[in-house]
Structure 1
Amino acid sequence: MKFPPLSLSLLLASLATSPALAAVPQPVAAFLDQHCTECHDSDVKKAGLDLTDLKFDLADADAALKWQRIFERVHTGEMPPAKNTQPTKTEAELFLASLGKPLIQADEQDIASNGRVRSRRLTRTEYEHTLHDLLGIDLPLKDLLPAERGAHGFETVAEAQQLSQHQLARYLDVADLALTEAFKRALDGDTVFKKFCPPEELPINDRGNFRGPELRKGESVSWPMTLQFVGRMPVTAAPADGWYRITLKDVRALNAGPVGSVWGTLRSGRCISSIPMLYMIGLVEATKQPRDLVFEAWMYEGNMLELKPNDATLRRVAPGGKGGNVSYKGRDLVKDGFSGIAHRGIHMERIYPTADRATVRRHLLGQGDFKKLEADKTASLDRLVAQFARRAFRRPLKASQLAAYSNIGHQMLAEGASLTEGLRASYRAILCSPRFLTLIEAPGALDDYAIASRLSYALWVSMPDSQLMKLAAAGEMKKPEVIAQQVDRLLNDPKSGRFIRSFTDQWLKLKEIDFTSPDTRQFSTFDPVVQESMVQETRAYFREVVSNDLSITHLVDSDFAMLNGRLARHYGSKEPLPPGQGLQKVMLSQSDLKGRGGLVTQGSILKVTADGTHTSPVVRGVFINERILGTHIPPPPPGIPAIEPDIRGATSIRDQLEKHRSNSSCASCHMTIDPPGFALENYDPVGIWRKGYGKSGKGAPVNPSGVTPDGDAFADLQAWKQIYTRRSDELAAGFARQFITYSTGASVRFSEKDTVDEIVTQAGKSGHGLRSIISAVVTSPVFLHK
C-alpha cells in the first residue's frame, strides 16, 4: 500500500526506534517510501520482498545482499517499473549515493577481515592435473572424485565447495592409486607395447554377432550402417589401462563425392550391449588421397576400437546379414555408390604423455643412485620429503611443519620398512593434507607463493612450475611487469590447453553438450561428428582470440570462424571447404556463412541453450546476458510458471512471452532477458538457420526483432550484433567478471566495481584484447588479494 502524506516521518520515527534499522539513511527511506513500498510492503510483498521488515544491518550477509540487489535494480533502471512514476535523475542519484556508500564500506570491512574469497580447495580437475604434474603420471582421476556443485557458473567458486568425510575418503583412495602408479613406474619401468593390426585381422570376430569392417582388396573398409557397434575390431583391444598412440595407415575415402571427404568417428569401448559406453577418440576425415591419421587416447583394458563413417547425411548401408549380423558376401558396396572409409591397418603403441620414467623417478626419489639413498635412509627420507612437500604445498615449509610428514616415514623405517615404503607413507600424508588440497591464502595482499599458485591454477589448471616458484622465492611475483610476462609464457605453453578446456567447459557450459540428445525425427542430419566438431570449433575459436589478443567484440561477431567441412555443411554452406584440413580458419567474407561470426552463433552455444527439441528465448537470453554481456539475471519470483513452447510450432514463443510479461513481476527482468534470445531465434536447437517454427520450419514465422534494455531497436541478429560490437567496454567488463570469478574463486564483490572499471580502462589501451583483459585482471588488486 502507498503510505499517506505523513508516512515518511512515521517511517523515519519507526527506524529511529528500531536498533536493527536505525542506520537507514534518510534519503534511502524517502526514496523507498515514494517509489517502492507500494509493491514491497508487508501486504503485497512482490517478488517476496518486504521493505518494511528488511534490516539495515549490513554486517548481516543476507541483509547486505538484499540491499545490494535493491541498489543494482535501481541503478540499472529495472525498478521502479516503467509503468510507475519514475524518480527524477536527482532523486535516483541521491538514493544511489546514500545507499552505495555504506554498502561499499561494509563490503570493504568484510573483505579486510575475512578476505574476498573463503578458503578454496582444488577442484577435481585441478587435483587431477596437479597429481599429473607433481608425480609425472597420466591416470584419469577426476571421475573417481565426487562431482563439483559449482556457483556463479564455475566449479572453482569457494562458497559452493564442500569437503566431507566421504570426499576426504575418495581423495585418499585417489592418492593411493596415483602413488601406486608413480612408484611402479619409478621402480619397475614403463610398460612397452607395440602392435600392428593388418587389415586381414581387423574383421576377426571373437564374440556375438559379426559387425566388423569389410576386408576388400587388402584394405579394411568401414561402411555407414545403423547397427550399434558396426566397425568394431576385437583384435585392437587394449591389453591394459593406459594411453595409446593409434595410427590408422593409408586412410582414404571411397565414393567421397563432391565434398571430397568422408567423415567418421574413432571410438573405444567394450562394444557389447551390456557395456554400451563408447569413448570418443577423434574425428576421422578420410580423403581421396591416402594418408596416415594419428590419435592419442586413454583406453581401458579390454576396450577395442570402433571406426565407422558417422555422417548422418550419408546413404545408409543395409546390414546384409540376418539376426543382427553384418554380411558383405555377394555385394559390391563401392559399385553401389556407398561412401566408406578404407585403411591398411592400425598401429597401436603404449605411451606416457605427461612424463617419462626418468622424470617420474626424479619427482619421487630425486637425483642420483638409489643405492646411495638407501645407505642413509633417515637423511634421505628427510631430504626427499622436504623436496616433495615443497612442490606439493607450492611453498617452502619450516622444519617443524615438515616433521609431521617425515615422522610418518621414520616410523615406517623403524618398523623395518624399506625407504620407498617410508617415502610412500609420508607422500600419502602430504597428498591428503589441507596444505595440498586447499590454496593457502591469508586475508589481505597475497604473498609471492600464493600469487604464483593463483596464476598457475588460473592459466594451467595446475600447480606452479619451477620458474614460477623461483620468481616467488626471489620476491618477484608482486611486480606487474613480471606477472604480465608470466601470463604470456603460460598462455603460450601447451599446458594452456587445460585452461581453454576447463574455462570453456564452465563459462560456456560445453561440459553440458551431452545433456540433451536432439530429436532424430526433427534433426535427422545431426550426428556425433557434428557435435564433436561444434565443441572443437568453440575451443579453437576462443584459443585464436586469446592467442592473438583479438578484441572482446569477437565474442559477439567476427569476420572468421573455425570450421571443418562437415560442420560447414551442417551450417548450410554450399561451398565445400578444402578436404583433409580438418578444423580451419575460414574468412566469412569469402564464404556463404556470413552470419556465423562470433561465439553466439556457434553450434555448441546454440545446442547447450536448447532442450534437443525446442528453443527458448528465455534460456538463450539468460545465457547471453550472464555469460557474454555480464548482466546478472535474478531467479524468477516464486510461483511463476515456465514458458512451454507450442510443440506444433503453430504459436510463436514470442506470443506466449507477451502474455507472461503482462505480469509486472516478470516484465522488468524480461526486458533484459528476451532481446538476445529473440535475436537468436532463427537458429534451431542444433544450430541450423530457420525461418519458421515446427517441423521443417512450416509453423509460425520467427520474428528476431526486439529492443535492448536501453532502448536500441534491432530488426534481426545482425542488427543486434552491430549494437553490441559498439559496446566493447560493456563486453570487456562482462568477461572480466567471468574470469575474476573463475580465477579467484569468488564472484566480483559489490565494492569492486571501480576495480573492474580500471581493468576495462587498462585493457582498452590495447583495444580490449582478450589476452589484455586477462593480463589486466591478474595484475589487479582483486586478483592479488585474498
Structure 2
Amino acid sequence: MRFVGLALVASFAHAAETPAHKVLLPFLDQYCLKCHDTPTQKGDREFDSFKLPLTNVAGLITAKDIVDQLTLREMPPHKEKVQPSDEERLAVIRVLREGIVAARGKIESTAARTVMRRLSNREYENTLATLFGRRVDTLGLTAEFPKEKASEHIDTIGKSLVTSGFLVDQYFQSANRLVGARLGRPEMAPQAWHFTGNFVQYEELQGPHKAAFNFKYLCLYEQPNTDTRQGGYGHIEDFLKGVPVSGLYDIEVLAQAMHRDTHYDPAIFGIDFSEPFLLGVVPGDSTKNHIHYPQAIEPLLAQATVPDEKPEWIKCRVWLEAGQTPRFIFPNGPYESRAAVLAINKRYKGEFDAKFANGGVGRTHLLKDGKLPHIRIGEIKIAGPIAEPGGSVEEIAVFGEKGFQAKQALDQLYAFGERAYRRPLTRADRAVIRKSYETRIGEKATPRQAALDTLKMMLCSPSFLYFSEITNERETKLGPYDLAARLSYTLWGAPPDRELMTVAGAQKLSTSKELRNQSVRLLVDDRAGGFVNAFVDAWLNLRDLGSQPPARESTRLYYAENLPEAMKTEVRLFFRDLLRNNGSVQRFLDADYTFADKRLAKLYDLPEQKTLRIADGFQRVSIAGNRQRGGLLGMAGVLTVSANGVETSPVTRGVWVSENILGAKPPPPPDVVPAIEPDVSGATTIRERLAKHRSDPTCNECHRKIDPLGFSLETFDPIGRWRETYAKPKGKTAAPKVDSSGEFGSGKTYTGFHDFKGILVADRTDAFTRHLIKQFLSYATGRHMEAIDAFVIEDIFQAVKNDGYGLRTLILESLDSEIFRSR
C-alpha cells in the first residue's frame, strides 16, 4: 500500500474501527488516491482529508460527488486496469449514502435564506400590467433601465438584482409616465384622419417611388430589422406627430399583396410563396430614432392576412401612446430587398425594355414593369381615441367599478395599496399614503391629481418594488401573505389575485392541502404561461437565443421565417404539455413527439411540412421512429443556443449539456492549458483537433467528460438542422463526414444521437431530475441551492420518482417543500 494510503489509515486509526471506515478507507486508497490525493487533486478533487461522519458542507459535497461518480461508473476511469467489483462499489455507495442521511440536521447552512430582492424587470412590467388592467409594453417602461444581470441564467436571484441610484430615478420616471399616460390623459373627442398619398419613404426608396407612382403607395418589401433596412417599415409621412392622446384607435388599411405568384426564383427572396403575406402594425416615435428603422419600443399591436386579388380594407383596433404613430411591417417578407433587386437585375434583365437593360434594371423598372413581391398600401384611416363604455380599463382596475370618487379617495388608495404591496396595509403605510394625498390637496391640487400623485409615490415605494417580507424575524417559515406573493410570482410572474389573498388572510395557505390546491389552480390558469416562458428561458438559457445570430447569407431561413420565435415556442409548448398532463420528465431526454408549425416541420424535414399551413400554428406531431429528433436535445432552440451562430463545437455543446441538463458545472480550464487551435495543423474535423488537444493529460481530465456529451450533437448544424457532412472546404477536397459516435467515462459507447439519448435515459434520468428540482427551486425562491438543501431535494426527488417522474408532481412537491416555504 502506498505511503499516502498508510498515512490516511493511520490518521483515522480509531475511526477505522467502525464498519463504515473499514469499507471506505481501503476503497479510496486502492482506487481513488492515485489521482485525488493532496499533491495531485485531479479535477480539483482531493480525498485525503475526507472522513466520516460528515461534519461540514465540504464533506457533504465530496460524499455526494463520490456517490454520483461511482453510480455512473465514471470513476475509476474505465481505462484503469484495476477496477472495483460491483459489490465493492455498492458497499461504498451504501456507506456514503448512510453518512449523508446521518448528517441531516447536523450541518449548519451558511446562508440558506433569500436576500430581500426587488422585482425583476420582467416582474415589474407584469405587475404594472396586472394593476392597471392593460398591457404596458407600448410605454417601454424598462427600456432605459440598466441591463439586468441574471445569475446562472436565472433572473430572480436576489443577490444579482442590484438597485442603483440610476435605477431608482428610472422608477420615478416610469411611474410618472405610466400614471400620466393611463390615468392623467385629457378627455378628448374622437378624431379621424384619412391618408391617400404622400407616402414618402426614405433613402434609396424615395427616388423609385416618386418616379413610379409619385408616392401614391406605401410599399413594404422586406421583413423588419434587416441589415440594409430598405422597406421593412412603412410609416405615414403626414402623421409623424402621432396620436394626440394615449388610447384605443381604429386603423383601416387598403392593402394588396403584390406578385405573390411571381415567376422570379423564390430562392432570391428566401420566403415561402405558398403562404399569404402578413401585414403587422407596430408603434413608432419620430422623436426617438429614424422612423423607418427598428426602435426600442415596437411590440406587435395587430397582424392580418393581406389579400392577393385586389386591394381590400384591413381593420384593427390598437392601443397607441400619445405621440406614437402606427408603422406597418411585413413579418414574413423577403429577407433583404436590396439584394433581391440586384439578383433580379442580373438574372432577368432580358425581360425588360432594352433601354432599361443597358443601364441595369432598378427598383423603378421593377415597380413599373416587373413582378417584385411586396405589400402595397393605398389608403390609411385612423380614428380615435375610442371611448370605453363604463370607463377605461385602467380607471376601473385602479379605482374600482365607479372610477375615481373624491369622497372615497383615501379608501380607494388604500385598496390599491393592498394590491400593489401584496399584503394588508400597516398603520404606517396608511399614514404615508394619507400624508401624500393631503399634502397635495394643501398645495391646491385637485382631488384627482392628488390621488394620481399619491399613486406615483406608491409605485416607487420599497413595499411595491421589493418583496419586503412582513413575516416575523423570529420565524423561519414565510407568513401567509409572503407565501402567497412567492407562489404567485413563481407561477404567474405577477401579484396574487383576490382568491389567493383571501386564502392567505384566512390563514389557510400554510396548510399543505390548501397550498397544493392553490398551486394547481394557478398552474391551470392561462397566466401560468408566464411561468413556463420565464422558467424555460432561465433553465435552458433560451433568453440568449439570438444573441449570437448566424450569418444572414448562409442561414436566410433563420431570419426569413423568424425561426427564433418558433424555436422558443416548441420548447415552451412541450414543457406545458408535460406540466398539464403530468408527463414524465424523462421525455425531456427523449420523446416520440414534439410540437411544430410549418416552419419547424420544414427545418426538421418532417412529413407535416407538406400539410401544415402557417395559419395552423403549432401542432403536436409524432416523431416515433425518427432517429434525428426527440427530447430537448433534438430541438432547434437548444441546439442553436448551445452553438455560437457560425460553427458547432462538441466542447461548447458538451459544457451546455453538462450544466443545463445534468447539473454538473465543469471547472474552468487551468491557465496553463492551451486553446484548442494551436498545434493541430493537418486536422480536418473538430474531432481530430480535439483528439490532439486531449493528448495533453491536463486537458484530457475534463474533456473526457465534456466531449462525449457534445459529440452526439455534431449531426446538427448551428441552427439545429440535421447534417451528415460538414461544410465542404475550399478546393476539390470532399466535405468531411460527421462522426457523432462517442464513449462515456464509464466505457459505455454510442454510435450517434439516438443511442446517446438512450444512455441518458437509462443512466442519467435521476441526475437530470435532481437538477431540474434545483433549478426550479432556485427560480422560485430567488436563491441558488446549497449543499445543505440536498436533503430536502432528495425528499422531493423520491416523491417524484415514486410518481413516475411527473413534471407536475415535481412542481407541486417543490412548492410544498420546506425550501419553498422558508425565508
- Do the two structures share a fold, i.e. TM-score over 0.5? yes
1:33–1:712: structure 2 CA closer, same or farther, 3 Å change rule? Answer: closer
1:743–1:230: structure 2 CA closer, same or farther, 3 Å change rule? Answer: same
Q: Is 1:439–2:474 an aligned residue pair?
A: no
Q: Secondary structure at the match of 2:722?
A: coil
Measured in 2, the distance between the counterparts of 1:555 and 1:352 equals 47
- 1:263-278 equivalences under 5 Å are 266=280, 268=282, 272=290, 277=295
User: Which residue of structure 2 lines up, in the alignment, with residue 386 of structure 1?
Assistant: 414
Aligned partner of 1:685 among 711, 718, 722: 718
Relative to structure 2, which stretch is displaced further, 633-642 or 275-284?
A: 275-284
Per-residue deviation, residues 65-89 of structure 1 (Å, max 9, x unmatched): 7887677667766556556666743
Does the 8 Å contact 1:263/1:311 carry over to 2?
Answer: no
User: Which residue of structure 1 lines up, in the alignment, with residue 813 of structure 2?
Assistant: 776
Give the counterpart letter for 2:740 in structure 1. P
Give the counterpart letter for 2:570 in structure 1. E
Does the 8 Å contact 2:279/2:306 carry over to 1?
Answer: no
1:227–1:39: structure 2 CA closer, same or farther, 3 Å change rule? Answer: closer
Q: Is 1:147–2:147 an aligned residue pair?
A: yes
Cα displacement (A) at 1:474: 1.4
Aligned partner of 2:119 among 122, 125, 133: 122
Measured in 2, the distance between the counterparts of 1:664 and 1:273 equals 58
Q: Is 1:132–2:165 an aligned residue pair?
A: no
User: Which residue of structure 2 lines up, in the alignment, with residue 742 of structure 1?
Assistant: 779
User: Which residue of structure 1 lines up, in the alignment, with residue 268 of structure 2?
Assistant: none
Q: Secondary structure at the match of 1:389?
A: helix
User: Which residue of structure 2 lines up, in the alignment, with residue 463 of structure 1?
Assistant: 495
- 1:645-656 equivalences under 5 Å are 651-656=684-689
Give the counterpart letter for 2:527 in structure 1. K
Q: Is 1:310–2:310 an aligned residue pair?
A: no
Cα displacement (A) at 1:557: 3.5
- 1:170-189 equivalences under 5 Å are 170-185=170-185, 188=186
RMSD of aligned alpha carbons: 4.9
User: Which residue of structure 1 lines up, in the alignment, with residue 109 of structure 2?
Assistant: 110
Give the counterpart letter for 1:756 in structure 2. I
Cα displacement (A) at 1:779: 2.3
Aligned partner of 1:360 among 367, 389, 394: 394
1:231–1:476: structure 2 CA closer, same or farther, 3 Å change rule? Answer: same
Does the 8 Å contact 2:220/2:232 carry over to 1?
Answer: yes
User: Which residue of structure 2 lines up, in the alignment, with residue 18 of structure 1?
Assistant: none
Does the 8 Å contact 1:260/1:287 carry over to 2?
Answer: no
Per-residue deviation, residues 287-329 of structure 1 (Å, max 9, x unmatched): 8699969696878835632337534599934488999984256
Does the 8 Å contact 1:238/1:302 carry over to 2?
Answer: yes
Q: Secondary structure at the match of 1:558?
A: coil
1:343–1:367: structure 2 CA closer, same or farther, 3 Å change rule? Answer: closer
Q: Secondary structure at the match of 2:154?
A: coil
1:331–1:655: structure 2 CA closer, same or farther, 3 Å change rule? Answer: same
Give the counterpart letter for 2:275 in structure 1. S
Does the 8 Å contact 1:309/1:340 carry over to 2?
Answer: no
Give the counterpart letter for 1:444 in structure 2. T
1:639–1:447: structure 2 CA closer, same or farther, 3 Å change rule? Answer: farther
Does the 8 Å contact 1:752/1:782 carry over to 2?
Answer: yes
Measured in 2, the distance between the counterparts of 1:39 and 1:563 equals 48
User: Which residue of structure 1 lines up, in the alignment, with residue 351 of structure 2?
Assistant: none
Q: Is 1:751–2:788 an aligned residue pair?
A: yes
Measured in 2, the distance between the counterparts of 1:524 and 1:645 equals 33
Q: Is 1:261–2:297 an aligned residue pair?
A: no
1:552–1:523: structure 2 CA closer, same or farther, 3 Å change rule? Answer: same
Does the 8 Å contact 1:449/1:469 carry over to 2?
Answer: yes
Q: Is 1:579–2:613 an aligned residue pair?
A: yes
- 1:325-404 equivalences under 5 Å are 326-328=363-365, 331-334=368-371, 339-341=373-375, 357-366=391-400, 368=402, 370=404, 372-373=406-407, 380-381=409-410, 383-404=411-432
Q: Is 1:168–2:168 an aligned residue pair?
A: yes
- 1:540-579 equivalences under 5 Å are 540-572=573-605, 575-579=609-613
User: Which residue of structure 2 lines up, in the alignment, with residue 210 of structure 1?
Assistant: 206
Q: Which sections of structure 1, spanning at least 5 residues, go unmatched?
A: 16-24, 375-379
Cα displacement (A) at 1:182: 4.1
Cα displacement (A) at 1:468: 1.0
How many residues align? The count is 762
- 1:470-485 equivalences under 5 Å are 470-485=502-517
Cα displacement (A) at 1:767: 4.3
Q: Secondary structure at the match of 2:725?
A: coil
Q: Is 1:522–2:554 an aligned residue pair?
A: yes
Measured in 1, the distance between the counterparts of 2:386 and 2:158 equals 33
Per-residue deviation, residues 175-197 of structure 1 (Å, max 9, x unmatched): 33333334315xx4589677676
Relative to structure 2, which stretch is displaced further, 549-558 or 58-67?
A: 58-67
Measured in 2, the distance between the counterparts of 1:356 and 1:549 equals 42
Q: Secondary structure at the match of 1:316?
A: helix
Measured in 2, the distance between the counterparts of 1:606 and 1:772 equals 28
Aligned partner of 1:448 among 480, 483, 506: 480
Relative to structure 2, which stretch is displaced further, 357-366 or 250-259?
A: 250-259
Cα displacement (A) at 1:683: 0.9
Does the 8 Å contact 1:448/1:477 carry over to 2?
Answer: yes
Give the counterpart letter for 1:233 in structure 2. G
Does the 8 Å contact 1:529/1:566 carry over to 2?
Answer: yes
Q: Which sections of structure 2, spanning at least 5 residues, go unmatched?
A: 16-20, 263-271, 346-355
Measured in 1, the distance between the counterparts of 2:14 and 2:256 equals 82
Q: Is 1:603–2:627 an aligned residue pair?
A: no
Give the counterpart letter for 1:230 in structure 2. G
Q: Is 1:618–2:651 an aligned residue pair?
A: yes
Does the 8 Å contact 2:197/2:378 carry over to 1?
Answer: no
Cα displacement (A) at 1:414: 4.2
Aligned partner of 1:676 among 691, 709, 728: 709
Does the 8 Å contact 1:259/1:579 carry over to 2?
Answer: no
1:567–1:37: structure 2 CA closer, same or farther, 3 Å change rule? Answer: closer
Measured in 2, the distance between the counterparts of 1:247 and 1:2 equals 86
Measured in 1, the distance between the counterparts of 2:162 and 2:388 equals 29
1:559–1:91: structure 2 CA closer, same or farther, 3 Å change rule? Answer: closer
Per-residue deviation, residues 635-694 of structure 1 (Å, max 9, x unmatched): 444443454599999622222223333444544543443333222111111222211222
User: Which residue of structure 2 lines up, in the alignment, with residue 22 of structure 1?
Assistant: none
Measured in 1, the distance between the counterparts of 2:377 and 2:121 equals 39
1:203–1:175: structure 2 CA closer, same or farther, 3 Å change rule? Answer: closer
1:150–1:227: structure 2 CA closer, same or farther, 3 Å change rule? Answer: closer
Measured in 2, the distance between the counterparts of 1:731 and 1:93 equals 19
Cα displacement (A) at 1:502: 2.0
Cα displacement (A) at 1:156: 0.7
Relative to structure 2, which stretch is displaced further, 556-565 or 291-300?
A: 291-300
Q: Secondary structure at the match of 1:144?
A: coil
Relative to structure 2, which stretch is displaced further, 30-39 or 508-517?
A: 30-39
1:209–1:332: structure 2 CA closer, same or farther, 3 Å change rule? Answer: closer
User: Which residue of structure 2 lines up, in the alignment, with residue 20 of structure 1?
Assistant: none
User: Which residue of structure 2 lines up, in the alignment, with residue 659 of structure 1?
Assistant: 692
User: Which residue of structure 1 lines up, in the alignment, with residue 89 of structure 2?
Assistant: 89
1:161–1:712: structure 2 CA closer, same or farther, 3 Å change rule? Answer: same
Measured in 2, the distance between the counterparts of 1:528 and 1:202 equals 29
1:287–1:692: structure 2 CA closer, same or farther, 3 Å change rule? Answer: farther
Relative to structure 2, which stretch is displaced further, 31-40 or 441-450?
A: 31-40
Cα displacement (A) at 1:447: 1.8
Does the 8 Å contact 1:617/1:681 carry over to 2?
Answer: yes
